[in-house]
Structure 1
Amino acid sequence: MAMRWIWIDRFVAFESGKTATAVKCLSAAEDHYAEHFPGFPVMPAPLILEGLAQTGGILVGEANQFREKVVLAKIPFAKFHREVGPGDQLTYTTDVVDLRPEGAVVRGRVTCGDNLVAEAEIFFAHLDRNRGQQLFGDHNFVFSGELTYLLGQAKLAAGKPAPRPELPPRPVDDPAAGTP
């Protein structure tokens, strides 16, 4: 089973095809702090970019009603201004610069309070149905599960209907599922 890490806690603003803002509260309990760096926990820059890419990727995918598989194609520009660690809250803000049938360009900023943490330009590609199916099958691996659920919660908070994605049933031996 592949592990997926979600670097967004919730969306706080979302305007279809235009802009999205999400937040992530950093906790000392997160695994990456054990190695990066012992005694001076700092969130790794690639994980900061991943949160920004997740925010922008959902924005791009939603603009096309999630019909296409959206994949990160490249990050031609990224600049980091300061470190962040446990106890900080990151705000990811993304704006669509260009949206085309073959992909999109998103500009993003990461802030912690009033401080700029990072900024980046991210290119996303839309995989055509044939190529996407060859590589990944029918399952839309990007827009399933928790990321879609987070977007649905943002839409509900804004008073817009958003169906909750179907979650797989819990295994019978899962103690969190309760006793049968």
Structure 2
Amino acid sequence: MRWMWIDRVVELVPRQRMVAIKNISLAEEHLHDHFAADPARDLPALPVMPASLIIEGCAQTAGILVGHAESFREKVILAKINRAEISREATPGTTLRYTATIERMDAAGASTRILIALFDHAHAAAGFEEIGQVEMMFSHLDQNMGGAGRTGEAFPEHNFVFGEGFKTLLRTSGIPVP
């Protein structure tokens, strides 16, 4: 099973920028363990979206942007997280907005920057607040590992990175998928 850490794409400018959102809800089981109540120490539950999952949402947003640039013909994988900063916790009742931009792209892959903003529905008048940014590099797997007998690795012909889950997300966001 592949976990989706974005709910909807709200903007796509091909080869430039993609904006996606993630609504955080107590319906997500991982929030019940992060951080669970501790009755022995009289601590209430404090459900917080783990930073690692926020970064995964960034990777999914930027990865889709990079994949879309070549009509999903390339197998795009996360190669490196250059930098990640998150200054505020995201809790149930908030919405994360990921704005990914391509900084550089060539046949080998792409470098991206993702701005993370948070909307607290309890304080809607405040609007979105920027809470972090991530710089990531993506590799076109077939260009760098396969093909031309470089490593002898054989990768499946089907695009295992952009499976049906991602295609459904794009279609329901109004984005045509090949």
Q: Same fold (TM over 0.5)?
A: yes
The 5-angstrom pairing of residues 1-180 of structure 1 reads 3-38=1-36, 39-113=45-119, 114-128=128-142, 131=146, 134=153, 136-156=155-175, 162-163=176-177
Residue type of the alignment partner of 1:131:
G
Residue type of the alignment partner of 2:146:
R
Structure 1 residue runs without a partner (length 5+): 157-161, 166-180
Deviation at 1:136, TM superposition (A): 4.1
Q: Distance in 2 between matches of 1:29 and 1:136?
A: 36
Q: Identity of paired residues, percent?
A: 44
**Alpha-carbon RMSD:** 1.9
- TM-score normalised by the chain length of structure 1: 0.81
Structure 2 residue runs without a partner (length 5+): 37-44, 120-127
Deviation at 1:37, TM superposition (A): 0.5
- Deviations along 1:46-65, one digit per CA (max 9) or x if unpaired, are 10011111010000001011
Runs of at least 4 residues off by over 3 Å: 132-136, 153-156
Q: Distance in 2 between matches of 1:135 and 1:21?
A: 33
- TM-score normalised by the chain length of structure 2: 0.82
Query: Equivalent residue for 1:172?
Result: none
How many residues of Structure 1 are paired with residues of Structure 2 in the alignment? 157
